[in-house]
Amino acid sequence: MMKTVRKAILWTAMITLVICLVGCEGKNDKGGAEGQTEEKNTASQEDKDGDALTEEEINEILLDHGQEVLDLMIEKIDSEAYVELLGSSSLTNSEYYQKLKKMEYSKPLRIYKITLTEEFLNLVWAQMTSDAAEIQDLSENLQKELRSRLLGTIVTIFNQRMTSVESVAVGSLLNTGKSFVEKGMSSDSVMLLYIYEDAYPLVVSFNSNDEGVLGVSANVLFVEEIKSESESEIRTSISELFSGVSQFFAGASVKIEKIR
């Protein structure tokens, strides 16, 4: 089992690194392959008059690309061949994967946009590296590259604290990411939380850079029950999941709003 976990984590690290490199270098390679940057002529670019994007336009871009990446991840969930190819038969037989295959992901009940401030990310980074003395041995550039992947690891932290290494292994194999050329996007760290009926929540994370590249990553949040009728319930539920930094979810450092 540990060999399978290590294999899953290695694949996740490789995929995440490719996504990050594409995003950081601002490449504009076209194509349908996963991890490549896709240039799309959407409302994401500033209009001809140079006006900045409205909040509504930004949300539509996030929803559009978020759903595209989610569709690809759901295809992975439905494919035992994919899981066996990159993992093992033990993962296809795991309770987490078997539950996932039986869950309905055709239409979310609610979608929440969660915006994380630099203050919150600094706290998470400090907690992640406080016991890792080796972090000081890394160069400034390498630390910056590692920090850039922080948002995508938050769901993994949730799963690790609330479930088991088995769920982390399954989630690592199913993690899906793509990059898109999107001018005029905010540099805020944003996640979309998709709530479904009788199914694990799904999370899509977004990172944009100065070159106009938007990195998008989708993950499964292996939580059986989450209160989600209102923004306050979502805030409370996430606070309970992320013990140790829950106080930051109570303030303005985390903005939560229902967008669909």
- Give CA–CA dist 39/29, Å, rounded: 8
Q: What would the pLDDT profile of 168-194 be if each residue is shown by its tens digit? A: 888 988 999 999 999 878 777 899 999
Query: Is 64 within the bounds of a domain?
Result: yes
Paired with 193 in beta bridges are 112, 203
* Angle ∠(242,245,248) on CA atoms, nearest 5: 115
Instruction: Say if 85 falls within a structural domain.
Output: yes
Positive/negative CA dihedral, 29, 34, 39, 44: negative
The mean pLDDT value for 133-151 works out to 74
Amino acid occupying residue 135? I
- For residues 45 and 190, the model is more confident at 190
pLDDT digits (tens, 9 = 90+) for 213-253: 899 999 999 988 888 899 889 888 877 776 555 555 556 57
Instruction: Report if residue 203 sits inside a domain.
Output: yes
Q: How many CB atoms lie within 10 A of CB 202?
A: 25
Residue 252 in any domain: the answer is yes
Tell me which residue range forms the domain holding 187. 2-27+53-258
- Output the pTM of the full model: 0.75
Residues 73 and 202 sit within 8 Å (Cβ to Cβ): yes
| Amino acid identity for residue 177 in this structure | G
CA–CA gap between residue 16 and residue 53 (Å, rounded): 28
Domains identified in the chain, total number: 1
Tokens of 38: 């896709």
Q: Highest mean pLDDT range out of 32-36, 41-45, 228-232?
A: 228-232
128 alpha-carbon distance from chain centroid: 17
CA 158 to CA 17: how far, in whole Å? 21
Compute CA distances 197 → 41, 71, 134, 227, whole Å.
34, 17, 43, 12
38 in a structural domain: no
- Asked if residue 234 is part of any domain, the answer here is yes
195 within a domain of the structure (yes/no): yes
Query: What distance in Å separates the CA atoms of residue 29 and residue 38, rounded to the nearest whole number?
Result: 7
Establish if 46 belongs to a structural domain.
Answer: no
